[in-house]
Amino acid sequence: MSQRDRIVIVGGGIAGQAVAEALRERDPHVGITLVCGEDALPYDRIRLSEILVDGSDAATLALRPEEWFGDHDVDVLLGRWVEGGDLDAGVLTLDGAEELRFDKLVLATGSQPLLPPIPGIGLPGVHPFRDPADCDAIRASAASATHAAVIGGGLLGLEAARGIAAQGCDVTVVHLVDRLMERQLDPVAAAMLEPALADLGINVRLNAATQEILGGDRARGLRFKDGSSIEADLVVVSIGIRPEKTLAETLGVATRRGIVVADSMRTSHDRVWSVGECAEHAGMVYGLVAPILDQARVAADTLLGRTAAYTGSILSAKLKVAGIDLVSAGEAEGDTAAVVSDAAAGTYRKLTVRDGKAVGAILLGDVRGAEALVAAVRAAEEVTDPLEALAAASAAGPADLPDEAQICNCNGVCKGDLVAAVEVDGCTTPREVMARTRAGTGCGSCKPAVIDIVAMATGGLNEEPAYLCACRKQTREELADQIRAQGLRSVSEVAQCCGTGRDCGACKPALAYLVSEVNDNRHREERHARYINDRVHANIQKDGTFSVVPKMRGGVTTPSELRRIADVAEKYEIPLVKVTGGQRIDLLGVAKEDLPKVWRDLDMPSGFAYAKAVRTVKTCVGEQHCRFGLGDSMGFGIEIEKAWEGLHTPAKVKAGVSGCPRNCAEATIKDIGIVAVEGGWQVRIGGAAGASVREADILDTVETKAEAMRLSTTFLQYYREHADYKERTYDFVPRIGLDEIRRIVTDEQLGAALRERFRLAKAATIDPWLERDTPYHPRQFTDLDQQPEPTVVVGPPEEARR
């Protein structure tokens, strides 16, 4: 070890990580060692309830990727425990009797969940809610449990209850005192919270002192002090934390409830500091992230010999339960308070004042102006008229906030930091600002506020035109003009001529579509400009394998096709075969190098399920079979699919044809939907049932199939030519306006021109799965350590050479 000072941090939680980061920010040279008792790098415990709700991988909670520690010269010991040491000599003893030398020591040992010493606490089915392993155990139990109970109605207990309710399990929150979240809420707000929780399937039982967890072999229920009981085969305990001070006591550092620290964050021993949930400052132990980060900054200063003092934190909290907006700060009650409440709407807004200064705020159901009010409480601002202050806050926009207003409580980022990221560092989007400042990367609840402030600082996010190439600030229209004027036929030619797509490459697929569309598909295809899905004509999955969906027009298949699909699934050991929402069969989990062989054995054309293209035309059986049928929806759907298949579009196009207004093919929520009605066909456009739901607009009702085909095809081509890349019809139709679209597609001349360009483009389409025999490149489907199939021909397939 060199001459430089070495600071050892014991504890790999948020506090330990925060101290390491604050030290490295201040001093690039000081030696830092982080000793983590768990086998995992520090993770964000605040977001634990997210894992409980959606079951995502605990790795998504990592505070920093593994490389960060190497890059920042922070040594990490994973899965190692400190058993003791000699503070005066500057030596710690690790498990296995290994010694670790230090000049200064930081105890960031955190806390343990508090478990009440009641009978049955050790039964199977009883869990604390503290780490990812607890989340896994709770999720596993919730799947089979019939009734869950959460002991503890604080912030964390309510988040746990929400996570359990999200699994569809009935849950009751059991709380010792007469109101929920008594540290953050007054009785009125706490009472208003109950119906909001009930809407989420969470029952509340107050004044309930749990005396025993019932059940002989596993948890079966709870019995209370008043003798009553409830059933519960899953019990989660979240009644608070117990500072972890065992190591401090072994080392001879003074403790009370926690490890006692002075304003400098130094303990009773002058080489030892303590930060986080294990530390007791002025009689307070803090279990929230914002105070811990404040403490870490002070400790980093004093560890490096600078002067700094921690003077306590004003607590603020946001309940991270989807469907309930709740922010609180400071004290719940004071001398004077202004309250604006609407019981019917479930909103409650309160500003508490003592000695003429703001000391607390509660916002439930309506959190407008939360940042401004929390900032006022933190700064103990003078308030002469609290009612007026409340009203002003609800009207306040991001522009009205002071620079010191803290927006991201998790990472301690103020409005001024966000504005500086835009004005000084040149960030232009919320994403860039969040990457730079770390705002919004903790619990994520401040993201809307971050977006508002970035919009203000950049002068409005929506006023910018929709650039195809954001780096060079070129629009689709400008580039299309260039492509036409100069006769450009490939992405490379456009890149050479205009610089498009050279800086970040993000727009290359949009450019590839534009080049193909303007040239009526008589362009020079360059696979490097296409998404991987369009390079290998299959849909990439999260594990890097692909899904294969063969063409099945109108959702109609044959026994022979089904037999081939079954044979392929067995031969290539395809792990999942699924029927899709678009009435197709999806083979999931195919390795990239198997794709050509799978296509060959299927001997069916591509279903285009991976592309921004005409995907599917879904049909019901229609008048041929259905006793309600008014038109031949199945036959017409197949006809439409043949007419449109193979055409790429700005974003995917899903279509449907229903044989009567009962609409079994869901045509009213398709990009293009056709419905047989009495005496004709209704043509609808711009429908969706995805992230947003939109009923398709009626473009027109016509008498014959031929007219319906002509009208819908004309619209499809108009969309192909005028939508921005990735703009679905449900955004495109309202943007252009239904009347304007109707005027253009029904205009005799304009319509005829659109249909002529459609005909040209369609004539140049081919089945991309033919590349199984004529790939673009010998290694189109293989990595460098795999052997490509021997029969390859270099260059585009014959059909594409025009």
Which residues contact another protein by CB under 8 A?
A: 60, 64-71, 74-76, 431-432, 435-436, 501-506, 508-509, 526-529, 531-532, 535, 540, 542-544, 776-780, 782-785
| Total count of residues recorded for the chain | 802
* Nearer to another protein among residue 529 and residue 674 (C-beta): 529
Q: How far is the CB of 71 from another protein (least distance, A)?
A: 7
One DSSP character per residue, 534-570 reads: HHHTSEE-TTS-EEE-B--GGG---HHHHHHHHHHHH
Q: How far is the CB of 91 from another protein (least distance, A)?
A: 17
* Nearer to another protein among residue 68 and residue 224 (C-beta): 68
* Nearer to another protein among residue 525 and residue 697 (C-beta): 525
Q: What is the rounded CA–CA span in Å between residue 130 and residue 477?
A: 54
Question: Cα-flanking dihedrals φ and ψ of residue 675, to 5°?
Answer: -125, 125
**Residue 684: exposed, middle, or buried by beta-carbon count in 10 A (0-12, 13-18, 19+)?**
buried
Amino acid type, 558: T
Q: How far is the CB of 366 from another protein (least distance, A)?
A: 34
Contact 354, 392 (CB under 8 A): no
Locate tokens 């009472």: which residue?
191
* Nearer to another protein among residue 72 and residue 269 (C-beta): 72
Question: Cα-flanking dihedrals φ and ψ of residue 302, to 5°?
Answer: -70, -30
**Residue 200: exposed, middle, or buried by beta-carbon count in 10 A (0-12, 13-18, 19+)?**
middle
Q: What is the rounded CA–CA span in Å between residue 133 and residue 302?
A: 35
Q: How far is the CB of 779 from another protein (least distance, A)?
A: 6
* Nearer to another protein among residue 270 and residue 425 (C-beta): 425
| DSSP conformational letter for 225 | T
Q: How far is the CB of 503 from another protein (least distance, A)?
A: 7
Contact 658, 687 (CB under 8 A): no
Q: How far is the CB of 360 from another protein (least distance, A)?
A: 36
* Nearer to another protein among residue 527 and residue 710 (C-beta): 527
Contact 772, 653 (CB under 8 A): no
Q: What count of other Cβ atoms lies within 10 Å of the Cβ of residue 425?
A: 11
Amino acid type, 239: I
Label the pairing between strands 6-10 and 31-36.
Answer: parallel
Q: What is the rounded CA–CA span in Å between residue 280 and residue 64?
A: 27
What are the Cα distances from residue 179, in Å, to 154, 315, 317, 433, 766? 10, 19, 17, 39, 68
* Nearer to another protein among residue 43 and residue 129 (C-beta): 43
Angle of helix 559-571 relative to helix 595-602, nearest 10 degrees, comes to 150
Amino acid type, 528: H
Q: How far is the CB of 19 from another protein (least distance, A)?
A: 17
* Nearer to another protein among residue 503 and residue 603 (C-beta): 503
Q: How far is the CB of 772 from another protein (least distance, A)?
A: 17
Q: How far is the CB of 8 from another protein (least distance, A)?
A: 12
* Nearer to another protein among residue 757 and residue 777 (C-beta): 777
Q: How far is the CB of 493 from another protein (least distance, A)?
A: 13
* Nearer to another protein among residue 435 and residue 621 (C-beta): 435
What are the Cα distances from residue 426, in Å, to 38, 453, 466, 501, 608? 39, 14, 20, 20, 40
Q: How far is the CB of 528 from another protein (least distance, A)?
A: 3
* Nearer to another protein among residue 64 and residue 735 (C-beta): 64
